Amino acid sequence: METYLYFYTIELILLFLSSIRKNSFFFFIAVFISILFSGFRHNVGYDYLNYVYFYEAYNEISFFEIEPLFKLVISIFRYFTNDHHYFLFFCSFVTISFIVLGIRKISVYQECSYMIFLLIPSLFLTSFSIVRFALAMSLFFYALASYIRGKNKIIFSIFSICSIGCHYTMLYMYIFFLFANSFFYVRYSSFFYCFLLFSSILLFYIEVPIFILQKLLVGKYLAYQEQMGSMTNFKIFFVFLFSIFIIIESRYMKSTIENNFLLNVVLFNSMIVMLFYSFPHVARIGYILSMFQVILIPNMISIDRKEKNKGRLYWKYISSSLLIGSYFLMPIIVLWTDISSDRNGFKFTPYDNFLFYMVGWK
């Protein structure tokens, strides 16, 4: 736990210095440290042993178990070394690099966006476990960021196909945004957004999504039913409250193509999470879409000191402080839960790093 606290403190200081001094040097140092922290992790992550197995026995694994591009990268690394650490470092390097490229392409507040990315457990910490998915997610994020900015379907398709080569789930996302993207460029009414949110909660509580999935899961997929869990009222309330905040703040946000797209993607993500949280394999799609809140939230919490409405200004200070505080609490809660867990095998804690052994610290 202490190692994570040191890491987040260093990242916060570097990104803060980058922001106030307008110096990219501090930003890239922060990115470099996070790549080392993630890339050279040792025995950290719930699925760590699976990826060690993928690396060591890649010739025995079919394309139904791991995707072709991911297997190709493994085969290239196996040609040079049998040590899986360098392969995992490469995956983290590519994952974080494309997230940074996407942030720099469409974010006005890059330091804040990157800090939020590090703080959201389903984005940064979870990448320690779901390596293929995180790699695919970063490529798709960059593809969609490029499409939002320039509507370049060629770039969007190239990087989307690369993301599909890392995880087949991205095929659904590619097809969906290829044909439904026009709906995300429209600013809808607050009433319409609220109606969709309340409908999602209602459908969740009467278990309609679970009923549908149970009917669809047949054959070998029946095993997935055992992974269906339950979402606590607190989590439902938190997601709903977050969405309401987004809807309220969106009323003061300029209606541009980029802002509308980000707003609709983030709210669409909230609906998916509330509808399918009990089924992780579907709710995981929310990980992809939640990437876009790292762009939207800094735009919303930025404070215009020229604001003449004092009530609006005070609300902005209070709501932004509460939201920022909640982001900093997220990794603390996840790591504290991880420490308390009696789960067998590797977890997020205790943290260890391959570099410690390389330099003789351990």
pLDDT in tens, 24-45: 899 999 999 999 999 999 999 9
β-strand partners of 353: 41
When mean pLDDT is compared across 16-30, 152-166, 279-293, the lowest value belongs to 279-293
Residues 222 and 327: their CA atoms lie apart, in Å, by 36
pLDDT of residue 224: 46
Name the pTM for this structure: 0.90
Nearest to 301 by CA among 280, 326, 268: 326
CA proximity to 166, closest of 45, 288, 267, 83: 288
Please report the pLDDT score of residue 74 as a whole number.
92
The Cα 274–Cα 240 span in angstroms is 8
Looking at residue 211, its pLDDT comes to: 65
Q: Is the dihedral of CA 35, 39, 45, 47 positive or negative?
A: positive
DSSP one-letter code for 360: T
Confidence class of residue 304 from pLDDT cuts 50, 70 and 90? low
In this predicted structure, the answer to whether residue 286 has a pLDDT above a threshold of 80 is no
**3 state DSSP class of 47:** coil
Alpha carbon distances (Å) from 94 to 31, 91, 132? 12, 5, 11
Between 211-220, 239-248, 292-301, 342-351, the lowest mean confidence (pLDDT) is in: 211-220
Mean predicted confidence (pLDDT) in 148-175: 89
Q: How does residue 278 score in pLDDT terms, banded at 50, 70 and 90? A: low
pLDDT at position 225 over 50: no
Give residue 219's pLDDT.
46
Of the chain, the percentage scoring pLDDT greater than 70 comes to 87
Closest CA to 89 of 35, 31, 132, 34: 35
Query: 240, 234 in Cβ contact below 8 A?
Result: no
For residue 300, what pLDDT is reported?
A: 85
Q: Which of 8-12, 181-185, 207-211 has the lowest mean pLDDT?
A: 207-211
